[in-house]
Chains A and B, each alone.
Chain A
Amino acid sequence: MKKPIVAVVFGSRSTEHDISVLTALASVIKPLELSKKYTVLPVYIAKTGKWYVGDEFKKIATFQTEDLEDLLAKKQPVSLLFDNGLRLIERGRLGRDVIHCPDVVFPATHGTHGEDGELMAICEMANVPYVGCDMESSVIAMDKILAKQVAVAHHIPTAKFVSFTKIAYESGSEEWHKKINKELRYPVFVKPAHLGSSIGISRVTHKKDLANAIEVALHYDTSALVEEGVENLIEVTLPVMGNERLHPALLEEPLLKSEDFFDFDTKYMQGGKGKGKGQGMSGGQDKEAQGAQGYSRMPAELPKGLYEEAESIGLAVYRALGCSGIARIDMLIDSKAKQVYFNEVNPLPGSLYAHNWSRAGVSTVNLVEKLIKLAEERFAKKQNLTTSFSTNYLQQF
């Protein structure tokens, strides 16, 4: 029997391009090949935005040499067709085109032009099954303001915040400052609405530094939010898998790697206090193991009852945002007040958080197989929906 073709799409015009290459190669392509159940089609989106296919993109060495530019210059980018599934057309010599028709798309992109719903939209247009969160939930998850608004509407606790668009802020910055100073307690975190990692995020302890921090956030994005800092902070993150029936992995507590004073970014974000990487930072250490993004403790060592509370809030957020396939929910805990706050959702976690799944009993091979199955199930359900029907409106017009 012919093996299903899985197109693993990665790279793209994103600040997280390199992380995406690692996710694709180590956490998706390798386990897919180990499973021996699929034919892997690596689809690399270069920083220029051009799409390429080829087995050379399965090797990390391809991305580690200065020759990548030369390789891409020699190679023909593929063109896409969206009728009857996704078609990737490689222009061959003498007019002999090679047409790749993946059965499933496995997005392994992070950040903009991929994780944010754009790649999912292409899959929706092509009507092809794809792994992970769907277009709508990806869009919501990658917009920190929208995600928090959805959480509030579902009575899920989240740190108090004020949000605004660049246009609104620029037409009355003083008013916004007054509103922030009245409604929020310092320190506050200023964040661009969309970008991942810690890009453009500032921790502000004094009113006088607020305007500069907002200017930084709005340099990166068309909207931003200012959020109250959580005291006695413990940061946790929960990878979740599933469509209707949800399967949480272990609650993970990222820890800091270094207390080096002149490592200013770290110090700045953590506010000079012990551990914790600030508000809204993914990453961190494992007294016990090193994960994809640094060190962390798994499962998180939390006061009694808080672990269950955080897990339940994580699952509630996953449902509220309409996530499917896989996502990772970041939460902030005030350890003294024993209060868990939803922070943000990562709809395509780096390395799929395979280190955590593996600790939770799901091997990397098992993980990618399960995710493909979930993608197929969601696709099959969607096919049963009526999305077009014949009318005679135009004849009546």
Chain B
Amino acid sequence: MQVVVDSLMTRYDRGGKGKVVVLLHGWADSAAGLRTLGNALQKNYDVIALDLPGFGGTQTPKQSWGLDDYVQFVQHFLKKIDAGKVYALIGHSNGGAMAIRGLADGTLRAEKLVLLASAGIRNEYKGRNRALRILAKAGKLVTSPLPIQIKKKLRRKVYKTIGSDMLVAEHLQETFKRVVTDDVRADAAQITLPALLIYGELDEDTPVWYGRQFHELMTDSTLEILPGAGHFVHIDRPDDVQKAIKEFL
């Protein structure tokens, strides 16, 4: 299904009957990444899953966006489709950071929050990031005489090696830089509604200690750590994640 929100063609899925549950996907993912979970939940809930701007079937914003822009977009989207009262927000990775920010500043409202390997702790690698920035600038200088296509390839390789998502969605580089520098721990501290936090034991992108920190900051949260699961915890352990969410909701 499509709808125009803030002049952006937006693709979304909606199915099921019951209280409204909204799914927010992570960086470089789309609503399709949460499809199995959505399928399971739509038996009891009215599930809404959208492709966030720049991903899946939703247009890319003309300017670079920050986390707040994404949160505001979600608010406008829910209003446009007349979603009604949201019962629960479920956010994976960066979608989790969006949910935390939106609920803390009142842009989004819900009765319950589920975070799946949520991101939002951003400045723990200050030293490493500074070193990488210097490396990037030096790399730019050294490779400047090379043809543009070769430079592009080299750049892709380097970013892949250091495990950065920046070039996973190349068209959103500037947006990526803004989003991943926005820390939501202060927002998490304001969250009083019941929250379920699920993290994968083997997750390297948003490690378990992210979950522990959010759990400490939030007033009414439950933390579940799933052994053997990675960052895509809902795909690695679908049954456990679905069961935990159903019980929590």
Interface residue ranges, A against B (CB under 8 Å): 69-70, 73, 200, 202, 208, 212, 215-216, 219-220, 260-262, 264-265, 267-268
CA of A253 to CA of B2 in the docked complex: distance in angstroms? Answer: 27
Q: Is the beta-carbon distance between B42 and A202 smaller than 8 angstroms?
A: no
Question: Beta-carbon contacts of B63-80 to A below 8 Å, as 1s and 0s?
Answer: 000000000000000001
Partner of A202, one of B2, B13, B149: B2
Chain A interface mostly helix, strand, loop or mixed?
helix
Given A212-B80, A219-B4, are A267 and B15 also a contact pair (CB < 8 Å)? Answer: yes
Residue of A whose beta carbon sits closest to that of B36 = A262
Residue B247 interfacial (CB < 8 Å): no
Q: Is the beta-carbon distance between B42 and A268 smaller than 8 angstroms?
A: no
Query: What are 21 A-to-B residue pairs whose CB atoms are below 8 Å?
Result: A73-B147, A73-B149, A200-B2, A202-B1, A212-B3, A212-B4, A212-B81, A215-B3, A216-B2, A216-B3, A216-B9, A261-B15, A262-B13, A262-B15, A262-B39, A262-B42, A264-B1, A264-B14, A265-B1, A265-B13, A268-B1
Residue B38 interfacial (CB < 8 Å): yes
Q: Which residues of chain A have C-beta atoms less than 8 A from B35's C-beta? A: 262
CA of A70 to CA of B150 in the docked complex: distance in angstroms? Answer: 9
Chain B interface mostly helix, strand, loop or mixed?
mixed
Question: Beta-carbon contacts of B125-163 to A below 8 Å, as 1s and 0s?
Answer: 000000000000000000000011100000000000000
Residue of B whose beta carbon sits closest to that of A201 = B2
Q: Which residues of chain A have C-beta atoms less than 8 A from B81's C-beta? A: 212
CA of A261 to CA of B17 in the docked complex: distance in angstroms? Answer: 12
Shortest Cβ-Cβ A-B pairs, 10 listed? A264-B13, A262-B39, A70-B149, A215-B4, A216-B2, A219-B4, A268-B1, A262-B38, A212-B3, A262-B35
Q: Which residues of chain B have C-beta atoms less than 8 A from A265's C-beta? A: 1, 13
Question: Beta-carbon contacts of B103-130 to A below 8 Å, as 1s and 0s?
Answer: 0000000000000000000000000000
Q: From residue 1 to 31 of chain B, which have CB atoms closer than 8 A to chain A? A: 1-4, 9, 12-15
Residue B204 interfacial (CB < 8 Å): no
Q: Is the beta-carbon distance between A219 and B15 smaller than 8 angstroms?
A: no
Q: Which of B1, B12, B42, B148 has the largest count of A CB atoms less than 10 A from its CB?
A: B1
Residue of B whose beta carbon sits closest to that of A269 = B1
Q: Interface size of B by Cβ–Cβ distance < 8 Å?
A: 19
Q: Which of B2, B9, B12, B147 has the largest count of A CB atoms less than 10 A from its CB?
A: B2
Residue of B whose beta carbon sits closest to that of A268 = B1
Residue of A whose beta carbon sits closest to that of B156 = A66
Residue of A whose beta carbon sits closest to that of B147 = A73
CA of A265 to CA of B56 in the docked complex: distance in angstroms? Answer: 13
Q: Which residues of chain A have C-beta atoms less than 8 A from B149's C-beta? A: 69-70, 73
How many A-B contacts are there with CB distance less than 8 Å?
Answer: 41
Q: Is the beta-carbon distance between B39 and A261 smaller than 8 angstroms?
A: yes
Q: Is the beta-carbon distance between A261 and B2 smaller than 8 angstroms?
A: no
Q: Which residues of chain A have C-beta atoms less than 8 A from B82's C-beta? A: 208
Q: Which residues of chain A have C-beta atoms less than 8 A from B13's C-beta? A: 262, 264-265
CA of A260 to CA of B35 in the docked complex: distance in angstroms? Answer: 11
Starting from the known contacts A73-B149, A212-B4, A264-B15, 10 additional A-B residue pairs (CB-CB under 8 Å) come to A69-B149, A70-B149, A202-B1, A212-B81, A215-B4, A216-B2, A260-B39, A261-B39, A264-B13, A265-B1
For the complex formed, measure the closest distance between the CB of B227 and the CB atoms of chain A, giving whole angstroms: 28
Q: Which residues of chain B have C-beta atoms less than 8 A from A212's C-beta? A: 3-4, 80-81
Q: Which of B38, B39, B80, B149 has the largest count of A CB atoms less than 10 A from its CB?
A: B149
Residue of A whose beta carbon sits closest to that of B40 = A262
Residue of B whose beta carbon sits closest to that of A74 = B149
Q: Which residues of chain B have C-beta atoms less than 8 A from A219's C-beta? A: 4, 9
CA of A223 to CA of B184 in the docked complex: distance in angstroms? Answer: 44
Q: Which residues of chain B have C-beta atoms less than 8 A from A267's C-beta? A: 15
Q: From residue 69 to 98 of chain B, which have CB atoms closer than 8 A to chain A? A: 80-82
Partner of B4, one of A208, A216, A261, A264: A216
For the complex formed, measure the closest distance between the CB of A74 and the CB atoms of chain B, giving whole angstroms: 8
For the complex formed, measure the closest distance between the CB of B145 and the CB atoms of chain A, giving whole angstroms: 16
For the complex formed, measure the closest distance between the CB of B83 and the CB atoms of chain A, giving whole angstroms: 12
CA of A268 to CA of B3 in the docked complex: distance in angstroms? Answer: 13
CA of A215 to CA of B10 in the docked complex: distance in angstroms? Answer: 12
For the complex formed, measure the closest distance between the CB of A383 and the CB atoms of chain B, giving whole angstroms: 46
CA of A200 to CA of B3 in the docked complex: distance in angstroms? Answer: 9
Q: Which residues of chain B have C-beta atoms less than 8 A from A70's C-beta? A: 149
Q: Which residues of chain B have C-beta atoms less than 8 A from A200's C-beta? A: 2
Residue of B whose beta carbon sits closest to that of A218 = B4
Q: Which residues of chain B have C-beta atoms less than 8 A from A202's C-beta? A: 1-2
For the complex formed, measure the closest distance between the CB of A269 and the CB atoms of chain B, giving whole angstroms: 9
Q: Which residues of chain A have C-beta atoms less than 8 A from B9's C-beta? A: 216, 219-220
Residue of A whose beta carbon sits closest to that of B39 = A262
For the complex formed, measure the closest distance between the CB of A65 and the CB atoms of chain B, giving whole angstroms: 12
Q: Which residues of chain B have C-beta atoms less than 8 A from A262's C-beta? A: 13, 15, 35, 38-39, 42
Q: Which of A202, A262, A267 has the largest count of B CB atoms less than 10 A from its CB?
A: A262
Q: Which residues of chain A have C-beta atoms less than 8 A from B3's C-beta? A: 212, 215-216
For the complex formed, measure the closest distance between the CB of B2 and the CB atoms of chain A, giving whole angstroms: 5
CA of A138 to CA of B3 in the docked complex: distance in angstroms? Answer: 29
CA of A73 to CA of B13 in the docked complex: distance in angstroms? Answer: 39
Question: Beta-carbon contacts of B28-51 to A below 8 Å, as 1s and 0s?
Answer: 000000010011001000000000
CA of A182 to CA of B38 in the docked complex: distance in angstroms? Answer: 37
Q: Which residues of chain B have C-beta atoms less than 8 A from A268's C-beta? A: 1
For the complex formed, measure the closest distance between the CB of B245 and the CB atoms of chain A, giving whole angstroms: 16
CA of A262 to CA of B48 in the docked complex: distance in angstroms? Answer: 10
Q: Which of B4, B35, B39, B80 has the largest count of A CB atoms less than 10 A from its CB?
A: B4
For the complex formed, measure the closest distance between the CB of A166 and the CB atoms of chain B, giving whole angstroms: 13
